Amino acid sequence: MHFWDVACHKSRSSGSLSSGKKYCRSGLAMAPGSSVFKEVLESHLMSSDYETGKAKSEAKSNITSTKSSVGLSGKSGISSNNGVYELLGCPVCKNLMYPPIHQCPNGHTLCSHCKVEVHNICPSCHHDLGNIRCLALEKVAESLELPCRYQSLGCHDIFPYYTKLKHEQNCGFRPYNCPYAGSECSVMGDIPTLVAHLKDDHKVDMHDGCTFNHRYVKANPHEVENATWMLTVFNSFGRHFCLHFEAFQLGSAPVYMAFLRFMGDDNEAKKFSYSLEVGANGRKLIWQGIPRSIRDSHRKVRDSQDGLIIQRNLALYFSGGERQELKLRITGRIWREE
């Protein structure tokens, strides 16, 4: 009987499997071809694989745990702050709350604007609000870093909670309001979306080119007050411009006004200039200026009188005839400033 066989035989007789494993390992070089050797070796390898796999799993768990804890305080941890973020929402207006954040004696919070709107009565429990500040929530908000609300539109910056609102008011990715002035249109979007909206929904005339010649006709202009007559969109230099023409009261005087707005931000609008001209019978009025961005509302531009203004009597004189019908021809040009 070989040493290998004796060792394994003794281990079986004594009923000690661990002793058998010990002796078989010590005889590893002596009988590598035996079946017992293979059986014990496989058992040993399986045990090693299990131990190694367990160690890797624990290490991976530790790494994941570490990443999660880092995310709570880092910029990648925004989702972990969802609960706190929800606490900062005003229950009345649903907007985020900024100092001073008020609370009732029962701990219900709301923003300072809504505190006035609800007449100092808590909308949740109907207790008198008093003048209690929720300083703890204000402090928590100060520690947060949040993405811009226009993240889905392309802004991927992260901001401290108290500077986020200021950024969003001027974010270059915020959507534009529909520039159509003939109705209170609530559509918002990027420039391509608004161009398609103006064409399809408002049936606005679209023209290509940097020069234009438009005629505005009204059978009884004396009946017209505070009316938007026409919006035309021009595609010039690969950008879009809105030409407005309307009648309104300037003080007690009825006037007509034409002006141009740029479909984009103000810093881009300043790269262009335009001129408008109207006249007849040897008289002429000329306006030259910079198109205003559609970030400025139609009413804001009109009220600032930033455009070609024609008094009604002069407009009727330009129209010729018996001054009973408005027939104004306005020509214009758009150019890029070097």
Given a contact cutoff of 8 angstroms between Cβ atoms, the answer to whether 294 and 179 are in contact is yes
Tokens of 100: 């001073």
**DSSP character at residue 81:** G
How many Å apart are CA 204 and CA 202, to the nearest integer?
A: 5
96 lies in the same domain as 157 = yes
Full residue range of the structural domain in which residue 202 is found:
175-336
297 lies in the same domain as 221 = yes
190 lies in the same domain as 326 = yes
227 is a domain residue: yes
Place of tokens 């391509």: 192
Q: Which of 151, 70, 89 is nearest to 159 (CA)?
A: 151
Spell out the per-residue pLDDT of the chain, length 338, in tens: 333 333 333 333 344 333 333 333 333 333 444 443 334 334 343 344 434 444 444 444 333 333 333 222 333 334 445 667 788 899 999 988 988 999 999 999 999 999 999 999 999 999 998 899 999 999 988 888 889 989 988 899 999 988 988 899 889 899 999 999 866 789 999 999 999 999 999 999 999 999 999 888 877 766 655 555 688 999 999 999 999 998 888 888 888 999 999 999 999 999 999 999 999 888 899 999 999 999 999 889 999 999 999 998 898 888 876 767 788 899 999 999 97
**DSSP character at residue 89:** B
Question: What pLDDT, on the 0 to 100 scale, is given for residue 252?
Answer: 81
How many Å apart are CA 295 and CA 300, to the nearest integer?
A: 10
How many Å apart are CA 318 and CA 313, to the nearest integer?
A: 9
208 lies in the same domain as 326 = yes
206 lies in the same domain as 315 = yes
Predicted TM-score (pTM) of the model is: 0.63
Last residue of a domain, one of 121, 140, 169: 169
Residue 190 Rama label (left phi>0; alpha psi -120 to 50; beta): beta
How many Å apart are CA 80 and CA 90, to the nearest integer?
A: 20
Tokens of 112: 């300072």
Long-range contacts of 26-32 (CB under 8 A, 24+ apart): 27/3, 30/2, 30/3, 30/4, 31/2, 31/4
226 lies in the same domain as 297 = yes
256 is a domain residue: yes
130 lies in the same domain as 252 = no
**Residues 6 or more apart whose Cβ sits within 8 Å of residue 126:** none
Query: For the chain, what is the domain count?
Result: 2
149 lies in the same domain as 256 = no
156 lies in the same domain as 181 = no
How many Å apart are CA 217 and CA 244, to the nearest integer?
A: 15
How many Å apart are CA 5 and CA 1, to the nearest integer?
A: 6
Q: For the chain, state the CA radius of gyration.
A: 39
327 lies in the same domain as 207 = yes
Question: What pLDDT, on the 0 to 100 scale, is given for residue 224?
Answer: 59
78 is a domain residue: no
1 is a domain residue: no
Half-sphere exposure of 240 (CA within 13 A, CB side): 21
SS3 153: helix
- Interior/surface letters 207-241, b for 16+ CB within 10 angstroms, e for the rest: eeebebebebebeebeebeeebbebbbbebeebbb
Last residue of a domain, one of 107, 138, 169: 169
Given a contact cutoff of 8 angstroms between Cβ atoms, the answer to whether 125 and 106 are in contact is yes
58 is a domain residue: no
Question: What pLDDT, on the 0 to 100 scale, is given for residue 280?
Answer: 87
47 is a domain residue: no
Question: What pLDDT, on the 0 to 100 scale, is given for residue 229?
Answer: 64
For position 124, which CATH number holds?
3.30.40.10
Last residue of a domain, one of 169, 186, 220: 169
| Amino acid (one-letter) located at 269 | A
193 lies in the same domain as 289 = yes
76 is a domain residue: no
For position 242, which CATH number holds?
2.60.210.10
How many Å apart are CA 205 and CA 329, to the nearest integer?
A: 17
Q: Which helix (H) or strand (E) holds 254?
A: strand 253-262
73 is a domain residue: no
279 lies in the same domain as 328 = yes
